[in-house]
Structure 1
């Protein structure tokens, strides 16, 4: 069962907008699920395989978990996957153009307290429907109105429903396109610890059937997550979907560069829940992993060594200068006292 919430905010003129929508009304709790004529049948959602022009009848169970009789609005709409891979339906103020228009269901159903009503609905595929998977949803909703702090009346439509997936027979063309791929290296704050690589990919379902796509790298074996945390693995893609995924590769030492093999293993999701493997797609991506902290440490060490060597050299030159000055002073003092001074010239000898 997929629970969705669509908020339609509007201003309602006048204070007498209906006591049934007052803030102190009892909380309404309900559930909706696929069913057969006898009641809920354990399915999470509806999977159908139909030919163009074919129709079938299925059932919806609406359970009222509250203590008062409630009239629910029933509606179908086109389905889609959010950026986190969750299924949702178009809000009621948007027109459906695909499988949501194929579903015919009663406009309302009244359910007694703690009761369940089984409602049939018809799915009729147009004769000109394109082959492949088409997503829709069907939901039971209630409408409530609350007053805001400014006194405006805010309307909220709350929906609970499930998806209806219809595969139309014909030529099925599973296809996955890796639209973009990039990677970046994150250095560790500790220069003596490895960093990590994040590989970001843009996956596009360019075929006409639903795909599941596990993404992994040889280094880590880590599978993908979505751009927003919480996406399921593998990545779910309806026909035409395009979604970003991130593969995190840990324990990567900064050795200047790294080549990361990335593998995509797309699978076609069958209506019976099985999968059909497609040919894997592999790409190698080059990543700079420059060891900047390590280079800075080496540079600092080299500067310290150079400073020490230069200091010792200056000290040696200073000592030599002091020795020369002392020798020169001694020579001048000796000359002033009339003492002979060695000039370094050897004396002549007679034969």
Structure 2
């Protein structure tokens, strides 16, 4: 049997399509085996070009085990401190040594102002060398002279001393990397520790499971309105109109004078029983033992009512009531229909009996 020209053409086209498919599959397999091709000019970072260093408090002889520098100085006085800078890199590095005012971030962590921000308080009282060059693996003790102005007001101040390097990659924007030490300064004089509790709000969060309790979330802002560095504890007590109170507490970070931090206290397993007597208390505590008068700070207490409406439970009760009413209506309807059928049967029986009686009389 001889194949027609049309059949031979179809076979040729089929073999060509199969060949193209095999070529594409081969290309995909080879590409996956080789992995992604790096862009032109890209290369792995050279460990020899990496910069690593550390900064820690020290004495004139070397590291002394402190984590921060904490000093007390009278107005117009001065104190000599030191920091140790270690070059952990595999090559020589020139570090910029800077000092600036310290502050707390939104998460409560300490940081120092960037170089673009001129110091106005404790950062301006610190005198250090501007640059330090260290060979690979070398370290050096850097003198830190703290000079407090004669007109400085009593209280706590924070600053930072940092060693930094500026890097740039392929002509991109330069980035400053800093590693530093916190410097806490107490200017002697009359101390007035004080804290404030602001922006107080409480919300009941429902659990839409009617058989599970909800939570009460109390949010506030703790502000240091005095001149002493303080930390505190914020406690929340939730008391329903029946049953015992539930109490939860959380710690705040230490706050420098003028600083503030948001605080959220969450109390779980609170049943929605209507009005909840909510008491929020702020208990201050001195951050250092030399905070005279800190133990005498009275707690800040605020009491108010938080409403916890049993919405899921009410919905379940309403649903159950609807079901009961529907069943009651159905039962009543069935009874009415049954009574109607019985009455109709009685009437039919009476009529049938009357008909039979008339037929017998006629006979």
Structure 2 length normalisation: TM-score? 0.78
Alignment CA distance shift 1:158-1:298 (3 Å):
same
Structure 1 counterpart of 2:167: 144
1:143-180 C-alpha deviation (Å, 9 max, x unpaired) = 11113xxxx52211000001111111222111111112
Structure 2 counterpart of 1:304: 323
Residue of 182, 185, 189 corresponding to 1:163: 182
Structure 1 counterpart of 2:339: 320
Alignment of 1:16-165 (within 5 A): 24=46, 26-147=49-170, 152-165=171-184
Residue of 287, 293, 296 corresponding to 1:269: 287
Alignment CA distance shift 1:31-1:271 (3 Å):
farther
Give the superposition deviation at 1:338: 6.2
Q: Which runs of 5+ in 2 are unaligned?
A: 1-43, 238-244
Structure with greater proportional strand content: 1
Question: Secondary structure in 2 aligned to 1:316?
Answer: helix
Distance 2:134 2:162 in 1: 14
Give the superposition deviation at 1:336: 5.4
Distance 1:153 1:34 in 2: 34
Alignment CA distance shift 1:221-1:113 (3 Å):
farther
RMSD across aligned positions (CA): 2.3
Whether the 8 Å contact between 2:246 and 2:267 is mirrored in structure 1 is yes
Structure 1 length normalisation: TM-score? 0.81
- Choose between structure 1 and 2 for higher RCO, CA contacts under 8 A separated by at least 6 residues: 1
Matched, 1:295 2:318: no
> What is the number of residues matched between the two proteins?
307
Q: Which runs of 5+ in 1 are unaligned?
A: 1-21, 225-232, 341-351
Distance 1:200 1:39 in 2: 45
1:184-243 C-alpha deviation (Å, 9 max, x unpaired) = 12223432222221111111111111110111234554332xxxxxxxx33322111122
Matched, 1:200 2:226: no
Whether the 8 Å contact between 2:196 and 2:222 is mirrored in structure 1 is yes
Whether the 8 Å contact between 1:35 and 1:41 is mirrored in structure 2 is yes
Distance 2:356 2:209 in 1: 70
Distance 2:292 2:54 in 1: 27
Whether the 8 Å contact between 1:59 and 1:120 is mirrored in structure 2 is yes
Structure with greater proportional helix content: 2
Matched, 1:251 2:274: no
Give the superposition deviation at 1:266: 0.3
Give the superposition deviation at 1:265: 0.9
Give the superposition deviation at 1:286: 1.8
Whether the 8 Å contact between 2:252 and 2:263 is mirrored in structure 1 is no
Give the superposition deviation at 1:117: 0.4
The higher radius of gyration belongs to: 2
Give the superposition deviation at 1:322: 2.1
Question: Secondary structure in 2 aligned to 1:100?
Answer: helix
Distance 2:293 2:220 in 1: 23
Distance 1:189 1:301 in 2: 16
Distance 1:58 1:35 in 2: 8
